[in-house]
């Protein structure tokens, strides 16, 4: 899978791309993630990427030319399934959307900054707008890292135990059951004995029950909060 990220803050991605599962997936060529500095596509002398909004307003807006120059360049190399713009007013990200994006081949992700991007980019070039939550970040970089992380970990070969991702919370609308590891007894805090019983059927049943309990509890918290 190919993911091209357009940003004016490329350094944000350094540790993200070179750590843990994302690094392994890149090393294994499961995913090719390329960060493009929007500034490199600005053609004026000062490499300006933002400007004041028309009509007078606070903040700066990312300019159309550098972003579209970058899109033109990428689209001249390959066809893209989606051009995604990370935005707090986009469609809320969930596991279903992530699953469907793992089936695509080539994605472009645009990170907005400051006050946003020139609306003409959204109207004429972007095919999908995604929000990672109902709050506003300083830019789309962290949001795009969340999206890329969620997609990459589902690619075959990214996680060594492929059944692990299938058991994630939300894959079947249920929250994952609790997990424990050694020691069995930490200052009197013990692991549930069923997990040491060796009875696979009983363990699976226990896990299902815990998942359902957790899902119900979380849904109640969510419903009460949003009343």
Evaluate whether 104 touches 81 at the Cβ level (below 8 Å): yes
| First CA to last CA distance, the chain | 41
Q: Is 136 in the site for ligand ADE (CB under 6 A)?
A: yes
Q: Is 7 in the site for ligand ADE (CB under 6 A)?
A: no
Q: Is 54 in the site for ligand ADE (CB under 6 A)?
A: no
What kind and span of H or E run contains 161? none
CB of 135 to ligand ADE, least distance (A): 5
Q: Is 129 in the site for ligand ADE (CB under 6 A)?
A: no
Q: Is 88 in the site for ligand ADE (CB under 6 A)?
A: yes
Q: What is the CA radius of gyration of the chain?
A: 22
Q: Which residues pair with 84 in a beta bridge?
A: 109, 128
Of 54 and 135, which CB lies nearer to ligand ADE in the complex structure? 135
Among the listed ranges 4-12, 82-90, 117-125, 160-168, the one in contact with ligand ADE (CB under 6 A) is: 82-90
Burial of 141 (0-12, 13-18, 19+ CB in 10 A): buried
Among the listed ranges 39-47, 80-88, 152-160, 201-209, the one in contact with ligand ADE (CB under 6 A) is: 80-88
User: Tokens at residue 209, please?
Assistant: 């029950």
Q: Is 140 in the site for ligand ADE (CB under 6 A)?
A: yes
Of 70 and 111, which CB lies nearer to ligand ADE in the complex structure? 111
Q: Is 92 in the site for ligand ADE (CB under 6 A)?
A: no
Q: Which residues pair with 86 in a beta bridge?
A: 111, 130
Q: Is 66 in the site for ligand ADE (CB under 6 A)?
A: no
| CB-side neighbour CA atoms (13 Å) of 204 | 4
Among the listed ranges 24-32, 101-109, 137-145, 175-183, the one in contact with ligand ADE (CB under 6 A) is: 137-145
In 10 A of CB 181, how many CB atoms? 6
Of 128 and 195, which CB lies nearer to ligand ADE in the complex structure? 128
Q: Is 133 in the site for ligand ADE (CB under 6 A)?
A: yes
Closest CA to 144 of 29, 20, 36: 36
User: Nearest to ligand ADE by Cβ — which residue?
Assistant: 143
In 10 A of CB 111, how many CB atoms? 28
Output phi, psi for 30, to 5 deg: -70, -35
Contacts with ligand ADE, residue ranges (CB under 6 A)? 86-88, 112, 131-133, 135-137, 140, 143
């Amino acid at each position: 899978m190919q993911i091209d990220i357009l940003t004016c803050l490329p350094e944000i991605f350094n540790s993200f791309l070179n750590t843990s599962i994302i690094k392994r997936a890149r090393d294994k060529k499961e995913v090719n993630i390329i960060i493009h500095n929007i500034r490199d596509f600005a053609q004026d002398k000062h490499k300006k990427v933002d400007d004041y909004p028309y009509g007078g307003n606070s903040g700066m807006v990312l300019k159309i030319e550098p972003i579209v120059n970058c899109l033109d360049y990428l689209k001249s190399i390959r066809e893209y399934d989606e051009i995604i713009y990370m935005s707090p007013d986009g469609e809320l990200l969930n596991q279903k959307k992530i699953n469907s994006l793992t089936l695509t081949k080539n994605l472009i992700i645009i990170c907005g900054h400051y006050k946003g991007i020139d609306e003409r980019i959204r109207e004429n070039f972007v095919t999908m707008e995604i929000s990672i939550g109902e709050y506003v970040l300083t830019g789309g970089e962290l949001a795009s890292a969340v999206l890329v992380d969620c997609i990459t970990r589902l690619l075959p070969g990214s996680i060594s135990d492929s059944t692990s991702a299938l058991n994630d919370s939300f894959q079947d609308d249920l929250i994952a059951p609790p997990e424990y590891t050694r020691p069995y007894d930490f200052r009197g805090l013990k692991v549930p004995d069923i997990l040491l019983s060796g009875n696979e059927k009983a363990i699976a049943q226990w896990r299902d029950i815990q998942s359902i309990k957790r899902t119900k509890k979380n849904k109640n918290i969510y419903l009460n909060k949003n009343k």
